[in-house]
Amino acid sequence: MNLLNISGSPHVHSDESTKKIMWRVNLALVPMLLCGIAYFGLNALLISLVSVVCCCLFQWLIEKFILKVPSTVCDGSAVVTGLLLAFNVPATAEMIWLVAIGALVAIGVGKMTFGGLGKNPFNPALVGRVFMLISFPVQMTTWPTVGKWFPMSLDTTTGATPLGIIKEGLTHDGATVQSVIEANNLPSLTEILLGHMGGSLGEVSAIAILIGAVYLLCRKVITWHIPVAFIGTAFVFSGILWLCNPGQYIDPVTTILTGGIMLGACFMATDMVTSPMSKVGQLIFGFGCGLLTIIIRNWGAYPEGVSFAILLMNSVTPLINRWCTPKRFAK
Amino acid sequence: MKTFKMGGVHPEENKISTNAVIEQMPLPTQVAILMNQHLGAPATPIVAKGDKVKVGQLIAEAQAFMCANIHSSVSGTVNKIDVCKDMTGLPKTAIYIDVEGDEWLESIDRTPDVKRECNLEPKEIVAKLKEMGIVGLGGATFPAHIKYSIPEGKKAEYLIINAAECEPYLTSDHRVMIEHAEEVCVGVSILRKALGVPNAYIGIESNKPEPIRVMTEMARQFEGIIVEPLKVKYPQGAEKQLINAITGRKVPSGKLPIDVGCVVSNVGTSFAVYEAVQKNKPLIENILTVTGKKLPSQHNYQVRIGITYNDIIKQAIGELPATTGKVISGGTMMGKAVSNLSAPTTKGAASVLVMDEAEARRAPETNCIRCGKCANACPMGLEPYLFSALVKNNRVEEAQAHNILDCIECGCCFFSCPANKPLTDEIRLGKFKVRAMMAAKK
């Protein structure tokens, strides 16, 4: 006769695990990866590969030799960080090796310094991305222009993103958003939706992002609160500005479809570890992200502010968690 | 369909013994009847070694306020009054009785016909519940005569009968409702009369269509009994959640159901009430489920209280499968793991649930990823992840300030945690520490 196991109740588990959640996120990122490869070709594939391999490798090395704990590479979180980091850089040939530095900062500084998955206050992929943006400003803002499908050459012509062109154009006297768009032959709304424009590897196609986001919503990995609050706030705030002065501000539809808002709202801001736990807290968090993004885009030095907005809101997440406790039963 | 508003989970139902008709378990050779089978102080033995007892004879008396009478479940000779380890291995006092024949007290009506008429006054009903040692059979084993003595200044408006049976695997309430619908309804009418409330609501989860149909038909023949189908969600059978589901009212922290005008009893209890009031039969038997995915057969048994778990297993399935990993008394969400199979069953026992080695193992714990699933699942609106951190760091006062004592230990947090953190265990420890701190302050 065996010895009986003894434990407190409950004696069953939902079978949900961190590993399953992380691999579901990875699956949700696949459409964006495919889109990136379709638009930017071999570069996109190599950057993603280098980024993922480096993230996993650095995590494994740090866990084995510095922290001396069992490896958690299999839980898939390093792969998520690797993919998101790759999605946040321009798909140029230089990035193939530069992204390895970003991976080291993302995993080493952004994640493992704090004790690994679950303990990091900031989104590791964004820590890596912002580090690269500040350290390599030229390389990080040189975007390959999208030409034909599946470009296989590593050499690409480069240009700025629509947001960058408009921001730069508006600094000239008498320029309006419309005149800049016309003068530079910027992409139409359909092209923007499909992602046929300059931009980071994974952020260009809103449709691919939405496919991934809907999958995560269906599998209950994320809830609608952060993406809707984030995109909604950005839409409304930029809409108000646009109504006030259409010459100086970009219209709200273009605002939310260009740059990193969609990717940021659906995949970076929704990171469980660094976002608030309660639904109300998540709405506040999304609202803050949207507001900061538009403020940085319009009045900051950078044409894009999603990364900074999310990192800033990450820093107030503990405070939001403290304010927004769940409603107690019968209170 | 009605349900409670906040939190909850839906574990795999596994009601595999649903179709097993209630069988009578053969008598064992000896029973051990524990003196504390109820919430409160132990009863005091009034028999001595060598005494002859009959089935239904009073053998231990309730002398404290919070206590219940205990009767012999068998006929025979008192072998000894001694220490007996209960199912979790804790020493308790028990009366051991060697079984000789099956001779019942003459006062107990053993005829099968159902007696509907009850002419007792509310006070007499409560006195009868006390005499017959009736306790709540939903899990807490709260003495029924105390529950049905409404304190001065309070008024009962609703009687709620808990037939949710939201725990996975358990089917005893299910079978009782199908096989003893009329008796249950008489029992409910008696309780309704004891409280003087216009209506009694029987809450049944919608995964039990057969009991809902049978009970709805039977309830038509009785005045003021309403069957309320409920959406399937655990912990629907928790007192505060059931009240919320049926009446929409919320029992405040630290208060009792009667504070919002409700009294809740289990459907098994109403069957016991029927037998006690109409048939003079004390609480000496209960109905329990013997189940498990790997067992050769599934059963629902009526057993005499005091029979050991080993005896039940022997009668039901011969012996435990070689791959057995855990035996649980109760459901998988709130039941207790049995460490001592030679322990006797008590009034509140609901099942013998046998789990396989693989099912019995917990997955290894990993870092909290702050997903908030535990807080979303909590039916009391608490923050289990926070308690986990506070308790580990011995920050007991903060845990108290975050209402840790409101936790009903339903297990939804641990059940839904992707990091497999034993949140319910940590909260139990935290509650213990908070109570110890409060006691030290007094």
If you ran DSSP here, which 8-state letter would residue A204 be given?
S
Q: What is the DSSP string of A206-270?
A: HHHHHHHHHHHHHTTSS-SHHHHHHHHHHHHHHHHHHHH-TTTS--HHHHHHSTTHHHIIIIITT
| pLDDT 10s digits, A243-260 | 998 888 888 998 898 888
B335 and A CB contact within 8 Å = yes
Q: Is the CB of residue B253 less than 8 Å away from at least one CB of chain A?
A: yes
Residue listed under structure tokens 């209506």: B199
> What proportion of chain B, given as a percentage, has pLDDT over 90?
93
Confidence of residue B385 (pLDDT cuts 50, 70, 90): very high
CB A269 within 8 A of CB A125: no
Pairing of strands B58-61, B70-71: antiparallel
Nearest CA distance, A59 vs chain B (angstrom): 15
Residue of B nearest to A331 (CA): B252
**Amino acid A2: pLDDT:** 62
A152 pLDDT above the threshold of 80: no
As a whole number, mean pLDDT of residues B113-134 equals 93
Residues 161-200 of chain B whose Cβ lies under 8 A from any Cβ of chain A: 168
Q: Name the region of B365 (left: φ>0; alpha: ψ -120 to 50; beta: rest).
A: beta
Q: Does domain B122-279 have CATH number 3.50.80.10?
A: no
Which residues are within 8 A (CB) of B347 and not within 5 positions of it... i.e. 6 or more apart?
A: B37, B38, B68, B133, B135, B137, B141, B283, B286, B305
pLDDT at A169 over 90: no
The per-residue pLDDT for range B51-72, each reduced to its tens digit, is: 999 999 999 999 999 999 999 9
Task: For residue range B206-250, list pLDDT tens digits in order.
Answer: 999 999 999 999 999 999 999 999 999 999 999 999 999 999 999
CA B161 to chain centre: 13
Are A331 and B355 in contact (CB < 8 Å)?
no
Q: How confident is the model at residue A26 (pLDDT cuts 50, 70, 90)?
A: very high
Q: Choose among B418, B419, B389, B417: nearest CA to B404.
A: B389
Sheet of B70-71: strand order equals: B44-45, B58-61, B70-71
A116 has a pLDDT exceeding 70: yes
Average pLDDT over chain A, rounded to an integer: 89
> For chain B, what are the domain ranges?
22-108+283-358, 122-279, 373-441
Rounded alpha-carbon distances, angstroms, from residue A232 to A152, A237, A286, A291 = 37, 8, 9, 10
Per-residue pLDDT tens over the stretch A195-208:
777 778 888 788 89
pTM for this model (two decimals): 0.90
- pLDDT at residue A148, rounded to an integer: 58
Q: Which residues of B touch A8 (CB under 8 A)?
A: 337, 422, 424-425, 428
For residues B8 and A83, what is the distance between their CA atoms, to the nearest angstrom?
34
| Chain position carrying tokens 């409920």 | B230
- Min CA distance, A77 vs chain B (Å)? 11
Of the pLDDT bands very low, low, confident and very high (cuts 50, 70, 90), residue A280 is very high
Helix (H) or strand (E) holding A50: helix A42-61
